[in-house]
Chains A and B, each alone.
Chain A
Amino acid sequence: MNDRKGRFVSHPDDDATVIEGHAGADYYALMTEATRQLLIERGLLIQSDIDAVIASLEAPRPEWGAMIVARAWRDDAYRARLLADGSGAAAEMGFRIKEAQLVVVENSPTLHNLVVCTLCSCYPRSLLGQPPWWYISKSYRARAVREPRRVLAELGLVIPPEVELRVHDSNADMRYLVLPMAPADSGTLDEAALAKLVTRDAMIGASLAGKDATMPFGRSKPHG
């Protein structure tokens, strides 16, 4: 890369901790289990504490986000509040955003939004649950900021040249939810039916809503 005076600046040989291919993953799994056993043996934790935390981590799911999107499609005042204060609008529907802030970004005929976390795997987990496997892959994290149109095209989503593609690097305290465009033929549907058109990937910006659960990246890891 070059600095503002055009001088070349080298990238440090910095192999930060990554999620995938993390050497030593077995070691940490073993240490986690050993720590759990010790904490229980010494009476510092009981198993039901751990179960409760796991349950709260596993409860959020994409359907929660889909309910918010469907409400925004049907209620302009709600959409305005959602775009101004994502966490507040989510709370109106009973969803407590536990991360710092939820920022909702709206797709339009002239703008498409895509979310990535280049540094790790930041994601609105308290609303949508755990991110899909590809979201935390090194290739998605690197390429989504470098050649986002190619990444989306490989997934079957071609963004027309006249549409601005805006990538959001979820690198710090905000978490992001894409508000997709309502499908053209959805005018008569009620909120519950609309919510069924909103996929997890559409709320990341990796697909459009209404494609009948089209999952360009697939639901599960194809290998391993």
Chain B
Amino acid sequence: MPRFSAGARVYIVDLGKTGHVRIPWYVRYKEGEIERYCGAYANPEDLAYARHDRPKVDLYRVRLRQTDLWPDYDGEKRDTLDIEVYDHWLEPAGDEP
């Protein structure tokens, strides 16, 4: 059972991990909305080191507003960006750490 449903507000954390991490810096510390649940996949952070016995992790697509990503964004306020984020990089929005 995935932790988040479409439409849920989420916050993308910074786990400070090194190695084969697929969560780019520009979306960390940002808030967005779950666009869809994509299924469970092998974690690339393990896969890159041939750790094939680790459990799969839930993957979501998160939709963010460009103006939230870039304070000086010079496009339109309606512009958005969708990106895939694994469950362990997400917290429910509004939960102060």
Which residues of A pack against B, CB within 8 Å? 1-4, 9, 11-12, 100-101, 103, 118-119, 145-150, 161, 164-174
Contact = CB atoms under 8 A, between A and B. Distances in A.
Given A164-B78, A173-B84, A9 B24 contact: no
B14 A166 contact: no
Contacts of A150: 74
A181 B61 CA distance: 23
A164 B80 contact: yes
Nearest to B70: A146
Interface in B25-52: 25-29, 31, 38-39, 41, 44
Interface residues of B, number: 34
A3 B44 contact: no
Contact of B79 (A2, A11, A148, A174): A148
A6 to B, nearest CB: 10
A172 B81 CA distance: 15
Contacts, number: 86
Interface of B: 11, 14, 22-29, 31, 38-39, 41, 44, 59, 61, 66, 69-70, 73-76, 78-86, 96
Contacts of A173: 38, 41, 59, 84
A164 B79 contact: yes
Contact of B83 (A12, A146, A169): A169
Contacts of B76: 149, 161, 164-165
Contact of A172 (B26, B28, B80, B84): B84
A11 B25 contact: yes
A160 to B, nearest CB: 9
Given A172-B41, A174-B84, 7 more contacts: A1-B28, A4-B96, A100-B39, A146-B70, A147-B75, A166-B79, A172-B86
